[in-house]
Amino acid sequence: MTLNIGFIGVGGIAEVHLRNISQMEGARVAAVYDVNAERAQFIAQKYETQAYASLDEMLDGERLDGVYICVPPFAHGEAERAVIARGLPMLVEKPLGVEIEPAQSILAAVREKGVLTSVGYHWRYSEAANEAKARLAGKTIGMALGYWLGDMPMVPWWRRMDGSGGQLVEQTTHIVDLARYLLGEVVEVYAAYAERGMKQEVEGVTVPDVGTVTLKFASGAVATISNTCLLNQYYTVGLDILTREAIYEVRGDSLTERRRHETVVRRNQTNPYYEEDKAFLAAIQTNNPSLIRSSYEDAFRTFRVTLAANESAATGKPVRLPS
């Protein structure tokens, strides 16, 4: 059976998924919709599919087996509700929004309808992350150090808090999620943000351009995750996990394991975005949600941590997370 997949939002991240699906046997891009009709038509021609003028028209005009929702953070809500109402599996690109709503009510609807969900935390599908997870099993993790250090994406909505939720919510969420994946659940968050220059250089900036978050985990481990969009260059992105015996440095393309007298680097052989898409399609075909490593419910926990960091930075106080 060939799966018919629809896309809501066809910007940059959607194209990653569009390319993957167009290369997979047993699946096809059946329909696309975007508020930018010109962009939707361009993508439809590129991937030899149908562009629709409205969301409902696409969802009701096609016999879809699954839907990708690849909209900016501020635009979440309508698309998810429409897809859930039709009982369709959905892969939602992170983050889930800029505030607790509409994500919290969407989670309630997902639970009520029992729809299959995935969220775009592709690091969970990387060989580096999963090798680290295997090697950390049974070990006592002392602490972790996370980073997302680079320049500012020149997308107008990204540089506004009401558009993106800020760098930790929109971008560094990948590292927060990776920390949860490898270290377990977060119970307390403390954050400090600052504005160190981008507000003066780029018009319309309301996001802090530097920040550090301290996380306490249920296991007793602690972590700091720092981000900046102040630089004029890429610096580093990743997570370092420290145990007594070894240090594990997880990066987008590799895992470095450092022991006292030995350092081993293992390079990824597969594309985590492709693996993520393959898992989503396989889960649809088999109705097996266990193939998915980040459901909407699990991703909501990561989202809640990033929102707690924003709250802590605003109030100057630690935020305890509900169990």
- Each residue of 212-238: pLDDT tens digit? 999 999 999 999 999 999 999 999 999
Looking at the chain, the whole-number percentage of residues with pLDDT higher than 90 is 99
pLDDT tens for 237-251 read 999 999 999 999 999
Q: Which residues of 185-206 are buried (b: 16+ CB within 10 A; e: fewer)?
A: ebbbbbbebeeeebeeeeeebe
User: pLDDT value at position 307?
Assistant: 98
| Prediction pTM value | 0.97
Taking the C-alpha atoms of residue 195 and residue 78, their distance in angstroms, rounded to an integer, is 33
Instruction: Supply 151's token pair.
Output: 């320049």
pLDDT for 101: 98
- 11 exposed, middle or buried (CB, 10 Å; 0-12, 13-18, 19+)? middle
Say if residue 98's pLDDT is above 90: yes
The arithmetic mean of pLDDT across residues 258-274, rounded, is 98
Predicted pLDDT at 323: 81
**CA-based nearest residue to 277, from 124, 97, 171:** 124
Determine the pLDDT at residue 71: 98
The count of other CB atoms within 10 Å of the CB of residue 9 is: 21
| pLDDT score at 1 | 82
Q: Which amino acid is at 124?
A: R
Average pLDDT, the chain: 97
In the predicted structure, residue 282 carries a pLDDT above the cut 90: yes
Give the helix ranges, DSSP H, for the chain.
Answer: 12-22, 37-46, 55-61, 78-85, 100-113, 127-136, 161-164, 167-170, 173-183, 198-201, 272-286, 296-315
Which pLDDT band holds residue 24 (cuts at 50, 70, 90)?
A: very high
Q: Which helix (H) or strand (E) holds 213?
A: strand 210-217
The DSSP code for 322 is: P
How far apart CA 35 and CA 53 sit, in angstroms, is 8
Average pLDDT over residues 94-99: 98
Torsion of CA 37, 14, 304, 132, to 10 degrees: 180
The single-letter code of the amino acid at 215 is L
Read off the amino acid at residue 304: R
| Residue 200: partners with Cβ closer than 8 Å, 6 or more residues away | none
**pLDDT bracket for residue 154 (50, 70, 90):** confident
Report the distance separating Cα 17 and Cα 12, nearest Å: 9
Q: Would strands 247-250 and 66-69 be described as parallel, antiparallel, or unpaired?
A: unpaired
